[in-house]
C-alpha cells in the first residue's frame, strides 16, 4: 500500500478542510489488521518541523471503521 501518497492526500484534504477531524476507513474482508493500523496512523498525524523543532501535527483524529460495500 502506498502510505506516503495517502498521507499526502490527507495533508491536502486537511489544508482544504482545516476544521474537519473526521475520516472513514472502509475495509474489505481480506485486509490485514496491521494494514488497517498503518492506514489509520497515516491519516491521524504527520511529522512536521518548525524552526528546527520536530512535532506531530494532527490531521484526522476521529477515524470511523466500517465494512466496504
Q: Which three cell numbers stand for residue 49?
A: 518541523
What are the E-state strand segments in 8-59? 22-27, 45-50, 53-58
pLDDT tens track for 19-64:
999 999 999 999 999 999 999 999 999 999 999 999 999 999 999 9
Sort strands 45-50 and 53-58 into parallel, antiparallel or unpaired: antiparallel
Q: What is the pTM of this model?
A: 0.85
pLDDT of residue 23: 97
pLDDT of residue 17: 97
pLDDT band for position 67 (cuts 50, 70, 90): very high
Q: Which three cell numbers stand for residue 21?
A: 477531524
Which residues are bridge partners to 9 per DSSP? none
Amino acid at each position: 500500500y502506498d502510505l506516503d501518497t495517502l498521507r499526502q492526500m490527507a495533508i491536502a484534504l486537511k489544508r482544504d478542510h482545516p476544521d474537519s477531524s473526521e475520516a472513514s476507513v472502509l475495509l474489505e474482508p481480506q485486509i490485514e489488521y496491521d494494514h488497517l493500523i498503518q492506514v489509520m496512523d497515516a491519516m491521524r498525524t504527520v511529522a512536521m518541523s518548525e524552526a528546527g523543532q520536530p512535532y506531530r501535527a494532527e490531521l484526522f483524529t476521529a477515524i470511523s471503521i466500517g465494512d466496504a460495500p
